[in-house]
Structures are given as C-alpha cells and as structure tokens.
Amino acid sequence: MIDRLVETVNGKASLVHRGRYLTTRFLVELGPEAYLVDVVQGRIAAVTSGPFVMPSWSFALRAPKEAWEQFFQPVPPPGYQDLFGLLKQRLLRIEGDLQPLMANLRYIKEAFASLRPLEAKP
C-alpha cells in the first residue's frame, strides 16, 4: 500500500507543488511492516520496505496495521479520516523531529489520503 505513494503523489502536480520545499526521509510503520519514504522537493523519490537495522529518518509515523486499514478505506469511519484522528485515539505515535512534519502537514496528510481508493466498493 505505502509503496504506491510514488505514483499517487508524483502523479498529482498540485500535490508535488505543495511539498516543493520538503526534502526528507521519514518512517511509516503499519504494525510490523516498516517503510522508509524519501521525499525530494515534494516528489516521492523512493519507498523502501523494511526490515531495517538502525535506519536514519527525520520523523516516524507508527500505528497498528488495523488502524491504517481503517484509515485507507474509501470513506474512513470517524476518528480514522485524518492522521490527527488516529493520534487523538492514541493509535498513531509520531516520533522524531516534528518540524518537517508540521511545516508540511497538509502535504503529508494529502499524500496519505491519496492512497485511498476513489470509489467505495459495494
């Protein structure tokens, strides 16, 4: 799922433009699965799947796989529609240097939301 960030983010010129000042590497954990996401001037340069031995990252987003599965639904239930909804429920842990995350919060939120399917399947 996370590996699709390259196509979903880089395919949206407005989203790349929004993140044009962001160059960083961050960690995303979906339960036991770990991914390093490299962003270069708003473009997702690479998504690398773990496991990792002492990876370097600026910030980390860690949540149980079940929470991410709810988040990635076409229409997530209340409390799962936003990263801060997960944080408020104590499902998401944010660690590390918060400056790049908070300075580019809308970009990060829209990048993750871009992974949701466009239509609800009956």
Structure confidence by residue, pLDDT tens digits, 13-45:
999 999 999 999 999 999 999 999 999 999 999
Structure tokens, 88: 């408020």
Structure confidence by residue, pLDDT tens digits, 68-98:
999 999 999 999 999 999 999 999 999 999 9
Residues 6 or more apart whose CB falls under 8 angstroms from that of 111 comprise 5, 8, 9, 15, 19, 44
Residue 90's domain is classified under what CATH number?
A: 3.30.1050.10
The answer to whether position 15 is within a domain reads: yes
The answer to whether position 88 is within a domain reads: yes
Number of domains in the chain: 1
Q: What is the pLDDT of residue 119?
A: 61
The answer to whether position 121 is within a domain reads: no
The answer to whether position 85 is within a domain reads: yes
Q: What is the pLDDT of residue 69?
A: 94
Identify whether the C-beta of residue 40 lies closer than 8 Å to the C-beta of residue 73.
no
The CA-atom distances, in angstroms, between 11 and each of 34, 91, 92, 100, 102 are 24, 29, 27, 22, 23
Q: What is the pLDDT of residue 120?
A: 52
Residues of the domain holding 96: 2-113
